[in-house]
C-alpha cells in the first residue's frame, strides 16, 4: 500500500511553490502518493490570528531581506527557477477556486504547475482573471471551464469550506503537509516529513 502525503497550499506563497517543486522527488524516494488540498491563506490567517513573515516583519528590513535571500538560496541549491513575484503579495482567489475545481481531475497537477510557474518563475499577475485564463489556455487546459469555476458561487463556497476544515485540523499557514495524522509546516520541514515516512509501514 502506497504511503500518502497531503499537500495544503495557496499559490500566493513562495514557500509553497518551492516545497511543491521538491516534493515529487521526495515522494518518489518514499513510494508515496501526493494529494493536493487548496486553501485560501487569507482565511487561514484570519482564523488563526496569523500573518505572513513578510507582513509580520515589514518594518524590519534586515529580516525581510534575509527571508528573500533564503528563498533564492533554497531555489539555487536545488536547481530551481525562481523569481520573487513583482506583484507580491497577490490575491489568488480566482486561481485557488480553479485549483478547487481541478481537484481529482486528470489535469490537476498540470494546472497547479502552470499557475505556480506563472507566478514564481514568469512573474505574471495571476490575480487578474484574464491573465489566469490565458495561462491555463496556453497550457492546454480547459480554460473556459476553469474561468467559469473561478466565479462560481458553489466552487467559492467549497474552497471556503475546505479552508475551514484545514484550520480545524491545526493548519495555520502554508505549505502544510500531512503524513497520516502528523503535520509538517514549511518547506524546511520536508526532511522531518521524510523521516516520518521512513518509519511508516
What percent of the chain is modeled with pLDDT above 70? 99
What is the pLDDT, as a whole number, of residue 2?
A: 77
What is the pLDDT confidence band of residue 1, given thresholds at 50, 70 and 90? low
- If DSSP codes are grouped into helix, strand and coil, which group holds residue 186? coil
For residue 123, the domain's CATH number is 3.40.30.10
pLDDT of 201 over the 70 cut: no
pTM (2 decimals)?
0.96
Query: How many domains would you assign to the chain?
Result: 1
pLDDT in tens, 20-56: 999 999 999 999 999 999 999 999 999 999 988 888 7
Least reliable range by pLDDT among 57-71, 79-93, 185-199? 57-71
pLDDT in tens, 174-196: 999 999 999 999 999 999 999 99
Q: How big is the CA angle at 161 (ends 182 and 200), to the nearest 5 degrees? A: 15
What is the pLDDT, as a whole number, of residue 59?
A: 85
Q: State the average pLDDT for the chain.
A: 96
DSSP H/E element including 55: helix 53-56
What is the pLDDT, as a whole number, of residue 108?
A: 98
User: 85-102: string of b/e by CB count within 10 Å (b at 16+)?
Assistant: beeeebebbbbbbbbbbb
Give the residue numbers spanning the domain of 167: 3-199
- If DSSP codes are grouped into helix, strand and coil, which group holds residue 139? coil
Instruction: Give helix 129-138 / helix 108-120 axis angle, nearest 10°.
Output: 120
What is the pLDDT confidence band of residue 135, given thresholds at 50, 70 and 90? very high
Torsion of CA 33, 106, 95, 90, to 10 degrees: 40
pLDDT in tens, 153-179: 999 999 999 999 999 999 999 999 999
Amino acid at each position: 500500500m502506497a504511503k500518502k502525503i497531503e499537500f495544503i497550499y495557496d499559490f500566493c506563497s513562495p514557500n509553497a511553490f518551492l516545497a511543491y517543486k521538491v516534493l515529487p522527488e521526495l515522494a518518489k524516494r518514499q513510494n508515496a502518493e501526493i494529494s493536493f488540498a487548496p486553501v485560501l491563506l487569507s482565511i487561514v490567517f484570519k482564523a488563526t490570528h496569523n500573518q505572513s513573515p513578510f507582513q509580520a516583519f515589514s518594518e524590519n528590513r534586515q529580516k525581510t531581506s534575509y527571508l528573500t535571500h533564503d528563498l533564492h538560496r533554497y531555489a539555487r541549491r536545488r536547481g530551481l527557477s525562481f523569481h520573487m513575484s513583482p506583484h507580491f503579495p497577490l490575491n489568488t482567489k480566482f486561481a485557488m477556486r480553479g485549483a478547487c475545481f481541478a481537484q481529482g481531475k486528470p489535469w490537476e497537477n498540470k494546472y497547479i504547475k502552470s499557475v505556480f510557474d506563472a507566478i514564481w518563475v514568469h512573474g505574471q499577475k495571476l490575480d487578474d482573471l484574464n491573465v489566469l485564463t490565458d495561462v491555463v489556455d496556453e497550457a492546454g487546459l480547459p480554460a473556459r471551464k476553469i474561468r467559469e469555476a473561478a466565479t462560481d458561487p458553489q466552487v467559492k463556497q467549497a474552497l471556503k469550506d475546505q479552508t475551514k476544515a484545514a484550520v480545524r485540523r491545526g493548519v495555520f499557514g502554508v505549505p502544510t503537509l500531512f503524513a497520516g495524522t502528523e503535520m509538517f509546516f514549511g518547506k524546511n520541514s520536508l526532511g522531518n516529513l521524510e523521516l516520518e515516512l521512513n518509519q511508516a509501514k
